[in-house]
């Protein structure tokens, strides 16, 4: 068994994720999220959904984007 790339646990139901050509092994979705999900520029939470992006910066929502100086991003049209 290959150890989890986040926590080091070995688990018989581990899974592999390939992202940008790099292979990772995880024992849970929680560990995958902690390792791979982007972080909001403002509140530092992990962005699990689509989030918002502007000029290479990721935000979890329009509220944080506005606090980050973005004025054109919206959660809803």
pLDDT per residue rounded down to tens, the chain (77 residues)? 899 999 999 999 999 999 999 999 999 999 999 999 999 999 999 999 989 999 999 999 999 999 999 988 888 77
Residue 33, both tokens: 């999220």
pLDDT at 77: 73
Residues 58 and 26 in one domain: no
- Predicted TM-score of the model (pTM): 0.82
pLDDT at 11: 94
Structural domain boundaries, residue 62: 38-77
Residues 27 and 47 in one domain: no
Residues 43 and 32 in one domain: no
Cβ-count burial 8-47 (b if 16+ within 10 Å, e if not): eeebeebeeeeeeeeebbbbbeebbeebbeeebbbeeeeb
Decide if 47 contacts 30 (C-beta within 8 A).
no
Residues 32 and 61 in one domain: no
């Amino acid at each position: 068994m290959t150890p989890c790339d986040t926590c080091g646990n070995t688990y018989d139901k581990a899974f592999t994720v390939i992202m940008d050509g790099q292979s990772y092994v995880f024992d849970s979705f929680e560990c995958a999220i902690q390792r791979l999900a982007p972080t909001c520029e403002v509140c530092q939470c992990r962005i699990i959904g689509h989030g918002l992006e502007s000029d290479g910066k990721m935000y979890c929502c329009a509220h944080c984007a506005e606090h980050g100086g973005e004025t054109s991003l919206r959660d809803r049209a």
